[in-house]
């Protein structure tokens, strides 16, 4: 049976790699906003909906008049188109509101690459090789199974610290359990906008305290950064 796991590690990029990571953040945010705007215009003028494949088809032509897009990981730009398409699909299904443009100030600083044939993780040397960025020092020592296969990698920045999350799959033998009484069995499945959903349709309420207080927390962190430590 296939199992999926994510390995998140802190990475220590060089100044040159940091500059390239930040450029990729900005390029992905630009592509997201540009494709969302183009989707809206095409829908209003022609009544046609752009798919993620239509958006990805436009990327090579954009590099002719925006040459800086060619400097970053191209699979990350394609994944930004996929994010736009996913957000629009969730809106169409009534799960979310219509997606908004991402701002430089408040949007999440991250990008996802799918060029996993270039990714190499070495737990002994504590390094990870990522597309375009090259070899980066990391703080991870966990040993992965040899037969695991990487699916995608996400590079993110939180509070000035950089992280890489590697999603991988592997085969695992699952021991079958004999069920004696089906009435005493309840199945639980993960739910992204809740904690779980049971086989009986039950879903607990999640208050999402962090999301509600995120803007206030950013404001308080900016205030704290301007304060002077007192020894009184």
Q: What's the confidence (pLDDT) of residue 162? A: 94
**Domain boundaries of the chain, sorted by first residue:** 2-14+109-171, 17-92, 189-225
Phi and psi torsions of 140, nearest 5°: -110, 135
Average pLDDT over residues 21-41: 92
| Contacts with 62 (C-beta within 8 Å, 6 or more apart), sequence order | 34, 69
Tens of pLDDT, residue by residue over 135-181, are: 999 988 888 877 788 889 999 998 889 999 999 888 877 777 777 77
Q: Is the pLDDT of residue 69 over 80?
A: yes
What is the mean pLDDT of the segment spanning 106-123?
86
Structure tokens at 18: 């940091």
Q: Are strands 188-190 and 196-198 parallel, antiparallel or unpaired?
A: antiparallel
pLDDT at 228: 82
pLDDT of 232:
53
Q: Which residue has the higher pLDDT, 81 or 140?
A: 81
């Amino acid at each position: 049976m296939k199992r999926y796991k994510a390995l998140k590690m802190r990475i220590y990029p060089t100044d040159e790699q940091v500059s390239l990571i930040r450029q990729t953040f900005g390029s992905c945010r630009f592509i997201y906003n540009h494709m969302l705007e183009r989707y809206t215009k095409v829908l209003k003028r022609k009544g046609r909906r752009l798919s993620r494949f239509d958006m990805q088809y436009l990327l090579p032509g954009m590099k002719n008049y925006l040459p800086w897009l060619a400097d970053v990981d191209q699979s990350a730009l394609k994944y930004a188109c996929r994010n736009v398409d996913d957000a629009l699909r969730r809106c169409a299904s009534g799960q979310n509101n219509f997606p908004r443009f991402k701002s430089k100030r408040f949007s999440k600083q991250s990008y996802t690459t799918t060029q996993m044939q270039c990714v190499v993780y070495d737990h002994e040397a504590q390094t990870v090789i990522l597309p375009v960025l090259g070899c980066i020092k990391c703080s991870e020592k966990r040993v992965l199974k040899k037969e695991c296969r990487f699916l995608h990698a996400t590079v993110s920045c939180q509070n000035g610290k950089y992280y890489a999350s590697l999603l991988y799959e592997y085969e695992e033998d699952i021991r079958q359990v004999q069920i004696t009484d089906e009435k005493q069995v309840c199945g639980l499945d993960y739910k992204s906008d809740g904690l779980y959903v049971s086989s009986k349709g039950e879903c607990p309420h999640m208050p999402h305290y962090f999301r509600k207080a995120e803007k206030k927390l950013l404001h308080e962190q900016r205030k704290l950064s301007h304060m002077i430590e007192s020894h009184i």
